[in-house]
Amino acid sequence: MQIYRAPIEDMMFQLAAFGYEDVAGLSRFEAFDLETLRMILEQTGALASDVLLACNRAGDEDGVKWDPATGAVKTARGFREAHRALAENGYYGLTADEAHGGGGAPYTLGTLVREILMSANKSLAMAPGLTGGLIEALEAHAAPELQTMYLPKLAAGEWTGTMCLTEPHAGTDLGLLTTRATPNDDGTYALTGTKIWITFGEHDLADNIIHLVLARLPDAPQGVKGISTFLVPKVLPDGTRNAIACSGLEHKMGIHGSPTCVMDLTGATGWLVGQPHRGMASMFTMMNAARLFVGVEGISLGEIAYQTALEFAKDRRQSRALDPRRSDPSAAADNILVHPDVRRMLLNARSTTEAMRGLAVLVSTNIDLAHHHPDEDARQRAEDLVALLTPVVKSYCTERGFANVSDAMQVCGGAGYTRDWSIEQYLRDMRIALIYEGTNHIQALDLVGRKLPMHDGRLFRTFVKEARAAVAAGRAHESTAGFADALDEALGHLVGATEQLAERAGRDREELGAVASNYLHLFGLVACAYSWVRQVAHAVATDAPNRATKLKTARFFFALVLPELHGVLGKLGAGAAPMMDFELDEL
Amino acid sequence: MQIYRAPIEDMMFQLAAFGYEDVAGLSRFEAFDLETLRMILEQTGALASDVLLACNRAGDEDGVKWDPATGAVKTARGFREAHRALAENGYYGLTADEAHGGGGAPYTLGTLVREILMSANKSLAMAPGLTGGLIEALEAHAAPELQTMYLPKLAAGEWTGTMCLTEPHAGTDLGLLTTRATPNDDGTYALTGTKIWITFGEHDLADNIIHLVLARLPDAPQGVKGISTFLVPKVLPDGTRNAIACSGLEHKMGIHGSPTCVMDLTGATGWLVGQPHRGMASMFTMMNAARLFVGVEGISLGEIAYQTALEFAKDRRQSRALDPRRSDPSAAADNILVHPDVRRMLLNARSTTEAMRGLAVLVSTNIDLAHHHPDEDARQRAEDLVALLTPVVKSYCTERGFANVSDAMQVCGGAGYTRDWSIEQYLRDMRIALIYEGTNHIQALDLVGRKLPMHDGRLFRTFVKEARAAVAAGRAHESTAGFADALDEALGHLVGATEQLAERAGRDREELGAVASNYLHLFGLVACAYSWVRQVAHAVATDAPNRATKLKTARFFFALVLPELHGVLGKLGAGAAPMMDFELDEL
């Protein structure tokens, strides 16, 4: 049984709470006011529940089939039709430029749409997800001829996109990659090498697949400063097949409906995207979006797992309420929602999912502002927040999302472990998000090693200023002042930990690596507390219809989730020695 | 690739550290000195690596097949042969009484053997596991004729056993069960009803399957005080087939090799075990052992996942060491074991697995002492520790075990998510342990609602006394005094939380339910700290060969795991209101 209703009301609330009006106020997005967004989100929710969810189980059961004779990959029952529905309704090009046939929608809408699609069918939603990332990279870095030739087809979902980074010996460490690109006489390049983990590298959904491939030119320096990016289509402009083919699939714990391909390039024709040896720029354009969206997966799967567990719980009766006043004497047992621990697990998921949805909207509105705000200071402030919070959202939301799906499973007891309620699929589908697009620890290193020191700490100061403004807003009302005080205290811990980190960083980079993951965890908790204070302050200030429930959910978060930060703080002081003092043969 | 070497040296160390000599000193166990245990554990390790591990993947891939026409269940490739090896080598009856054809071994040995078998093949190891539980229940409660007829066959592994508790509407709440037992003229009973989640309820490993079935007699009072237990064999003594049959299998996230059966009883012939309406006694004899052993599953799967991730890490090179002195200039990248976060994840698993192994040995030696010590005070002290710590071991070790397997997966990056390294199987196989044999929250309610108040708090005082003795022993040596101080502080927190709980319990039982899971988590952390202080005190006092490594591993635990207790303490004060104040339609 698969159950999902897009959380439209909460999305609309988050848009209002996190200042979407600033985005709607930009001339580029004047067609995208709040009511338009609601309409699109409702349509998306209907498509997700009716079409995507309907083949989500099939994707898990059928998986994808690779034909060794032809290298062709067949997707699961219903995937072709669902893909077509996504393409025809404009989801592949939703945020692409209108000049390239896109929908011209703000990033913020793209994020919420992504949340919905990922809830209903994570495997399939990766196809428009990657294609959107490729569109963004080509818009930013490709020559106009390439844009004209490829962007309209990609935006229409007639063709799909991939990013070909990883090689067997080069995963986290892209500097090791060896795929070679040799110039041809006509200005194209011949690419040779093997790429792995290529999502939707081969499939039967579309007529052409456009790969963005990282490779080295003959004169390339070693390491990441010698990487260039190339556009390599499966089918060449003259209609012939290019020398890139799928030579096998990975067998994974989850996302069975999404083909994870080994791609062999044997002199494949490619076109340079961007400058020689500057391929990391296009890679990061695609990757930064991907990181935010992978964080969103934790929201998506936490949400559908929560909804499923709640549906189960509403029906299930076991044992008597601990408080006899809640007991139902007309039945042989009470509904399990009378048990505090069942609610604890449900509210763990809900209170963090709503906090994280707020963060995703915050980052997304700031992406829109960073790209399109007329004022340079406003753009810079927005860029700071995006750069700082993207690794936090990627890691914290995926870790928490995984825990939330596990909590939802626990609510259902044995039933949660069976295929009947599908939570076990969501848990398997979720787990990869802690790994791909840069493992969660790589995000933590990005946060402590790059983002914190950047511009002499300006990014962090920008966040602290935002958070202090939220504290002040929260203190303005009696019903939210307690939350504001708790945020203020948590923020003080984060500032203290950040100062300690800065002091250590110069002294010992190994110590930085040792504390990075725990520091990111602390940041994630404080960011969620910040998200909650903004939400309750907005709910109270506007007397929103969900005001009472938001206050209760925030109260749960502050009482039963935020205290985790004391555990994390306790670990931060440990430094590197407890790990590094082991000799290799002691491990 | 599946990799496993039984951790014999650590097991031998734990036996010495946790006073196995007291067990070996009992006349019943004089044949089981430490060297005999080592020999048996080594043989078990060889059998596990050579035979059980060899079909562990097949169990996951083939699963079990049910034939609707006959109700027969076919197990995976290699399972019959592996079962036979277990049976012929005495593993089904290892701890059964010699009078019934058993091995007469101490429980402690049974626990360590179980850990090894579960690491190598959790699905198959459930068969001797359940059979051992049934043997124990029959030894304690069945009439001599039943014992004579069934125990030798069960102990030889010629027949296997099950426990039939759950019904579709009665899981956690056994009081709701409705299977009926009507007396026949010959002293037997006719049982009718449907049971679900019956592990190895039907299979092709053995000629007969002996079910312990919970049911109600016609005159039974309502609730759990009207439950009786019956022995219901698949094949009756006269060789005819009894009216109990498998009518379907569950489709589960993991343990695919283990059949989880729906069992229909349609007037099946059964024999009463124990007194009418007192079936919960035999159920709990079987269940208490099962709870300890389910806790051990967290140790087993954490161990094999750790070994696998370490093997992967030793081979994998990515990026450069943060500290250039650790760098290997002869290679293009450094081995990932130079990265502190890789070690952090490995040591999370290792430092808790070793702590929990110590706890499992502690509980097991005390089971042996509780059963067989000549002195009544010694028996009572041992019983107190077993009763108190069993729910802690069941819940904490399974939660931590699940986290440990997930950490091991993260070490391997994308490879960890594929079938190639099998950690994804271990994660799926592990997850059920948080649910079955009483969900982890049911354990927490048992701890706070039954075990803490029992005998006016005597059980808890017994534990505190043990822990204080460990503090004193730890303080006797300079190298362990810091750990002893940290345990003392943690113990102070636990004592404080326990006093608060006792004070609250009288006032508001709902609040007890609200904090139970977090209280158990706190207890688990403190128990692991206690385990570590006993281990390092022993290592130092005996100048054990692993002394240096044990001190380093303890240091990691105290620096990077134990601080979690501050997060848990922060949640304990929240009470029930943050969950219970939600109206139903707000959830």
Residue A76 lies in a domain: yes
Residue A419 lies in a domain: no
As a whole number of angstroms, the distance between CA B542 and CA B477 comes to: 12
Residues A110, A18, single domain; the answer is yes
Structure confidence at residue B198 (pLDDT): 97
- Closest residue in A to B574 (Cα–Cα): A559
Residue A12 lies in a domain: yes
B286 has pLDDT over 90: no
Residues B12, B149, single domain; the answer is yes
Which of B178, B582, B584 would best serve as a mutation to test chain A binding (most A beta carbons within 10 A)?
B582
Instruction: Confirm if B355 and B303 have CB atoms less than 8 A apart.
Output: no
pLDDT averaged over every residue in chain A: 96
Residues A149, A259, single domain; the answer is no
Number of structural domains, chain A? 3
Structure confidence at residue A300 (pLDDT): 98
Using CB atoms, which residue from B410, B420, B434 is nearest to A434? B410
As a whole number of angstroms, the distance between CA A330 and CA B184 comes to: 34
Strand partners, B262: B248
Q: Which chain A residues are closer than 8 Å to B171 by Cβ?
A: 318, 413-414
Confidence of residue A295 (pLDDT cuts 50, 70, 90): very high
Q: How far, CA to CA in Å, does A142 sit from each of A12, A265, A268, A416, B225?
A: 35, 21, 19, 47, 76
Alpha-carbon gap: B567 to the closest alpha carbon of chain A (Å): 4
B1 has pLDDT over 80: no
Is A437 tagged catalytic?
A: yes
Residue B243: DSSP 8-state = S
Using CB atoms, which residue from B170, B441, B567 is nearest to A341? B441
The domain boundary residue, chosen from A142, A159, A176 = A159
Of B186, B423, B193, nearest to B303 by C-alpha is B423
Residue A208 lies in a domain: yes
Average pLDDT score over residue span B264-272 = 98
Output the domain CATH number for residue A134.
1.10.540.10
Alpha-carbon gap: B434 to the closest alpha carbon of chain A (Å): 8
Whether A501 and chain B come into contact, CB under 8 Å, resolves to no
As a whole number of angstroms, the distance between CA B356 and CA B296 comes to: 8
pLDDT in tens, A81-125: 999 999 999 999 999 999 999 999 999 999 999 999 999 999 999
Task: Test A571 with B563 for CB contact under 8 angstroms.
Answer: yes
Task: Test A563 with B563 for CB contact under 8 angstroms.
Answer: no
Instruction: Confirm if A134 and A290 have CB atoms less than 8 A apart.
Output: no
Using CB atoms, which residue from A170, A251, A406 is nearest to B418? A251
Residues B20, B113, single domain; the answer is yes
**ipTM metric:** 0.97
Which of A197, A253, A327, A522 would best serve as a mutation to test chain B binding (most B beta carbons within 10 A)?
A253
- CA angle B568–B571–B575, rounded 5-degree value: 140
Of A456, A538, A460, nearest to A494 by C-alpha is A460
Average pLDDT score over residue span B10-26 = 98
Whether B1 and chain A come into contact, CB under 8 Å, resolves to no
Residue A515 lies in a domain: yes
Q: Which chain A residues are closer than 8 Å to B409 by Cβ?
A: 431, 435
Query: Is A264 exposed, middle or buried, given 0-12, 13-18 or 19+ CB atoms closer than 10 A?
Result: middle
**Six-digit token string for A164:** 């070909």
Q: Which chain B residues are closer than 8 Å to A339 by Cβ?
A: 513
As a whole number of angstroms, the distance between CA B83 and CA B76 comes to: 11
* 3-state SS class at A457: helix
Residue B453 lies in a domain: yes
What are the b/e assignments for A386-412, b being 16+ CB within 10 Å?
bbbbbbbbbbbbbbbbbbbbbbbbbbb
**Which is it for the CA torsion B7, B10, B12, B15, positive or negative?**
negative
Rounded (10°) angle between helices B458-475 and B478-507? 160
Q: Give the lowest-confidence range in A320-334, A447-461, B28-42.
A: A320-334
Structure confidence at residue B504 (pLDDT): 82
Q: Which chain B residues are closer than 8 Å to A508 by Cβ?
A: 323
- Closest residue in B to A507 (Cα–Cα): B323
B506 has pLDDT over 80: no
Task: Test B322 with A565 for CB contact under 8 angstroms.
Answer: no
Residues A176, A149, single domain; the answer is no
Structure confidence at residue B505 (pLDDT): 76
Confidence of residue B509 (pLDDT cuts 50, 70, 90): confident
Annotated catalytic residue within B437, B489, B503, B511: B437
Using CB atoms, which residue from A166, A416, A579 is nearest to B556? A579
Structure confidence at residue A45 (pLDDT): 98
- CA angle B130–B136–B138, rounded 5-degree value: 105
Which of A224, A417, A561 would best serve as a mutation to test chain B binding (most B beta carbons within 10 A)?
A417
Whether A427 and chain B come into contact, CB under 8 Å, resolves to yes
Residue A124: DSSP 8-state = H
A410 has pLDDT over 80: yes
Structure confidence at residue B172 (pLDDT): 83
As a whole number of angstroms, the distance between CA B127 and CA A372 comes to: 64
Among A residues 173-202, those touching chain B with beta carbons less than 8 Å apart: 173, 175-176, 197
Helix H or strand E segment including B276? none
pLDDT in tens, A160-210: 999 999 999 888 888 899 999 999 999 999 999 999 999 999 999 999 999
Q: How far, CA to CA in Å, does A54 sit from each of A120, A121, A206?
A: 8, 9, 20
Of B524, B531, B523, B533, nearest to B484 by C-alpha is B533
Whether A69 and chain B come into contact, CB under 8 Å, resolves to no
Structure confidence at residue B283 (pLDDT): 80
A156 has pLDDT over 80: yes
Output the domain CATH number for residue A223.
2.40.110.20
Whether B168 and chain A come into contact, CB under 8 Å, resolves to no
As a whole number of angstroms, the distance between CA B432 and CA B260 comes to: 12
Alpha-carbon gap: B11 to the closest alpha carbon of chain A (Å): 16
Average pLDDT score over residue span A11-26 = 98
The domain boundary residue, chosen from A143, A159, A175 = A159
Of A434, A439, A404, A164, nearest to A301 by C-alpha is A404
Query: Is B55 exposed, middle or buried, given 0-12, 13-18 or 19+ CB atoms closer than 10 A?
Result: buried
Structure confidence at residue B31 (pLDDT): 96
Residues A114, A173, single domain; the answer is no
The proportion of chain B whose per-residue pLDDT surpasses 90, expressed as a percent, equals: 93
Cβ neighbour number for residue A469 with a 10 Å cutoff: 14
Structure confidence at residue A506 (pLDDT): 75
Alpha-carbon gap: B135 to the closest alpha carbon of chain A (Å): 25
- Closest residue in B to A171 (Cα–Cα): B318
Whether B63 and chain A come into contact, CB under 8 Å, resolves to no
Phi, psi of B170 (to 5 degrees): -135, 95
Residues A150, A132, single domain; the answer is yes
- Closest residue in B to A556 (Cα–Cα): B578
Whether B310 and chain A come into contact, CB under 8 Å, resolves to yes
Residue B376 lies in a domain: no
Task: Test A251 with B436 for CB contact under 8 angstroms.
Answer: no
Query: Is A90 exposed, middle or buried, given 0-12, 13-18 or 19+ CB atoms closer than 10 A?
Result: middle
Whether B519 and chain A come into contact, CB under 8 Å, resolves to no
Q: Which chain B residues are closer than 8 Å to A517 by Cβ?
A: 341, 344
pLDDT averaged over every residue in chain B: 96
Q: Which chain A residues are closer than 8 Å to B251 by Cβ?
A: 418-420
Alpha-carbon gap: A234 to the closest alpha carbon of chain B (Å): 25
Whether A277 and chain B come into contact, CB under 8 Å, resolves to no
The domain boundary residue, chosen from B228, B245, B277 = B277
pLDDT in tens, B533-548: 999 999 999 999 999 9
Residues A467, A565, single domain; the answer is yes
Task: Test A512 with B419 for CB contact under 8 angstroms.
Answer: no
Q: Where are the alpha helices (H) located in B456-546, listed in sequence order? A: 458-475, 478-507, 509-541
Confidence of residue A385 (pLDDT cuts 50, 70, 90): very high
As a whole number of angstroms, the distance between CA A74 and CA A202 comes to: 9
**Six-digit token string for B344:** 């952090």
Whether A585 and chain B come into contact, CB under 8 Å, resolves to no
B274 has pLDDT over 80: yes
Whether B166 and chain A come into contact, CB under 8 Å, resolves to yes
Contacts of A209 (CB under 8 A, 6+ apart): A159, A160, A161, A162, A200, A201, A202, A203, A233, A234
Whether A410 and chain B come into contact, CB under 8 Å, resolves to yes
Task: Test A517 with B253 for CB contact under 8 angstroms.
Answer: no
As a whole number of angstroms, the distance between CA A408 and CA A112 comes to: 22
Instruction: Confirm if A204 and A257 have CB atoms less than 8 A apart.
Output: no
pTM, entire model: 0.98
B125 has pLDDT over 90: yes
Structure confidence at residue A541 (pLDDT): 97
Helix H or strand E segment including B89? none
* 3-state SS class at B249: strand
**Which is it for the CA torsion B21, B23, B28, B32, positive or negative?**
negative
**Six-digit token string for A171:** 């995963």
As a whole number of angstroms, the distance between CA A422 and CA B481 comes to: 50
* 3-state SS class at B352: helix
Residues B150, B168, single domain; the answer is no
Task: Test B513 with A559 for CB contact under 8 angstroms.
Answer: no
As a whole number of angstroms, the distance between CA B65 and CA B82 comes to: 18
Alpha-carbon gap: A304 to the closest alpha carbon of chain B (Å): 14
User: Chains A, B: CB contacts under 8 A, how many?
Assistant: 255
**Six-digit token string for A527:** 């960011």
- Closest residue in B to A339 (Cα–Cα): B513
Instruction: Confirm if B124 and B116 have CB atoms less than 8 A apart.
Output: no
Name the E strands within B184-337: 189-199, 208-215, 228-233, 244-249, 260-273
Whether A506 and chain B come into contact, CB under 8 Å, resolves to no
Q: Give the lowest-confidence range in A20-24, A325-329, A451-455, B100-104.
A: A325-329
Q: Which chain A residues are closer than 8 Å to B565 by Cβ?
A: 567, 570
Instruction: Confirm if A269 and A242 have CB atoms less than 8 A apart.
Output: yes
Instruction: Confirm if B249 and B261 have CB atoms less than 8 A apart.
Output: yes
Task: Test A339 with B513 for CB contact under 8 angstroms.
Answer: yes
Residues A166, A114, single domain; the answer is no
Task: Test A424 with B252 for CB contact under 8 angstroms.
Answer: yes
Task: Test B173 with A333 for CB contact under 8 angstroms.
Answer: yes
pLDDT in tens, A39-53: 999 999 999 999 999
As a whole number of angstroms, the distance between CA B292 and CA B366 comes to: 12
Alpha-carbon gap: B566 to the closest alpha carbon of chain A (Å): 5
Which of A339, A341, A447, A553 would best serve as a mutation to test chain B binding (most B beta carbons within 10 A)?
A341
Strand partners, A433: none
Domain that holds residue A173: 161-278
The proportion of chain B whose per-residue pLDDT surpasses 70, expressed as a percent, equals: 100
Residues A117, A131, single domain; the answer is yes
Annotated catalytic residue within A115, A167, A383, A437: A437
Residues B101, B80, single domain; the answer is yes
Residue B350 lies in a domain: no
